[in-house]
Structure formats: C-alpha cells, structure tokens
Chain A
C-alpha cells in the first residue's frame, strides 16, 4: 500500500501527512509540477497555503499539473483524501461538493475538536477505534477558512446520499460550518475532504491517535479492494 502526498509551493502539512501515512504503509511525496503519480494506491492533498492561497484558498492549486493526474485517478475510483487546504483544493476542482468560506469569527482557530463519525462503512472511516464507546474522533483543527457551505437543497441532497461522513460534535463547530459538517465525500465515495487534521493526531505524544482511523481505513480499503 503506497500513499502519495502532493506537495505544492506553500504546502506545510505535507511532511506530517507523509509520516502519518508511513505508520500504516509506504508513502512518497508527489511534486505539484509533475505529471506522474508514481503508481501510488491513494493520494493525499495536504494542508497548507498552496500557491499562497492567493485569490481564494485552493483556487490556483487546482490547476497545478499534478491535479490533472489526481482528477483522472479519482475518476477511475482511486482514493483521494483532502485535508484542510487539500479539502479546499478538491472543492475548487469540483471533485467535492460545496465550498469553504472564512470562519464566522473571522479568526484563525487552532484547537482540538470532537468529531462524530456519521458513517463508519466508508473507505475513510471503516477502521473504528477498538473499544471506543461512541464513534467519535478527537482531532485538531487549525484554519481561517473552514466554514463549509453548500446551498440548502444541496445540503439536503448530500445528507440523503450519505456523503456527510464527519460532523463536529455538539458545541465543537469551530467555524460556523452549515449543519456542523466537518467532512464530505463525493458521490462515488472515493474522494473525501475534511477540515480537521488527522495527520496531527497519530502519536500519543500529541494527545490523540484518533487520526490514524482515517489512514488505517484507507489502507484496509486498498488492501481489500485494490491489492487483493
């Protein structure tokens, strides 16, 4: 199982994502200007400030050469995970529904939040934490532009179609996201974006290892469906 982590100019969580993925499989960095995904089994678009986030977060990065390959990989059913800025990039690329707007507070938020797993039967959430009493994850957020938005009828459709995979637990919505949505997937279920940072919650030293659930789920899915 090999993860590929995209590195744009301005990415800053690429190494944490690389190290997190390395805990469950192999992982390599993919350069934004390359046209080659190096045969990876899953792609992670990491957090940061791709191309400076000039204009809008993710607006310019979505046109990076490597993104054409990522889009093709996604169309063919490959697993693509977007974290924070990566989520913004995938929304701008129309690989995911909705958009991320500035936090209602207009302030940068950096805190640990509790997330409710809405669906635990997806390639990104299937590895439940053994023994956990409730299907919750404790994972940090750190962003200024994380307010998930989609028109009301689109939100209804996303919920009905089971595309909302993670919600902020009551009282934990850090940015004013509509319907407390923290993470959504595409219709096919193979592209997933979330604002919280699972790659920052993989070592007991940092207080929680709940983030491993996401990477371990992806590994399990790929080993069962792709490599088997």
Chain B
C-alpha cells in the first residue's frame, strides 16, 4: 500500500515556523490568512499497513510534540 503520513505540531505548542509564514504572506499581498502551521509529509510503500501506527509512534513522529494522521494513496514511485 502507498501511504502518506501527515505530521502536525500538536495544538497549543508554539509554532514559530507557522507564525513566520503567516507574517510573510501579507507582505506579498495575501491578506486574510490565519492559523498557519507547518508540518511534515512522509510518503511510503508499506507491505503491512496495520503496522503504520506503531511506526508513527516509535520513529516517524514524537507523540509528545506532534500529531499524526495516515492517508492511503499518494504519488506513486517511481517518479
């Protein structure tokens, strides 16, 4: 299965990267943008998708500071 793992900074934790992007957009004329957060996208082919949550908890994310979400699909290899 092709899967993508979306990794987000946990709600409530100060996200200076999101804040920097939020401040930069109006400078380019993009008004009305709020609540910007920057996370990570991990795409992978996995033989046993049932093991994905364990992969997320043990290596792909740090559950203390990040939330994760698994989606099926994604851009197929090879690109």
Contact = CB atoms under 8 A, between A and B. Distances in A.
A92 B20 contact: no
Contact of B60 (A55, A149, A151): A55
Contacts of B13: 101, 149
A163 to B, nearest CB: 16
Contact of A102 (B16, B59, B60, B64): B16
Given A99-B64, A101-B65, A106 B16 contact: yes
Interface string B36-76: 00000000000000000000000110101100000000000
What range describes how many residues of A lie at the interface?
Answer: 10 to 19
Given A55-B59, A59-B59, A99 B65 contact: yes
A189 interface: no
A105 B16 contact: yes
Nearest to A105: B16
B14 interface: yes
Nearest to A104: B16
A150 B62 CA distance: 12
Interface in B1-52: 13-14, 16-17, 20
B14 A176 contact: yes
B16 A59 contact: no
Given A101-B13, A104-B14, A104-B16, A149 B62 contact: no
Contacts of A103: 16
Nearest to A58: B62
Residue among A56, A102, A151, A176 having the largest count of chain B Cβ atoms under 10 Å: A56
A162 interface: no
A135 interface: no
Contact of B62 (A59, A60, A63): A59
Interface in A81-124: 92, 98-99, 101-106
A173 B31 CA distance: 33
Nearest to B13: A149
Nearest to B9: A101
A149 B13 CA distance: 9
Contacts of B65: 99, 101, 149
Contacts of B62: 56, 59, 92, 99
Contacts of B16: 102-106, 176
Nearest to B42: A55
A56 B62 CA distance: 8
A149 B65 CA distance: 8
B57 to A, nearest CB: 12
Interface of A: 55-56, 59-60, 63, 92, 98-99, 101-106, 147, 149-151, 176
7 contacts: A55-B60, A59-B59, A106-B17, A106-B20, A149-B65, A151-B64, A176-B16
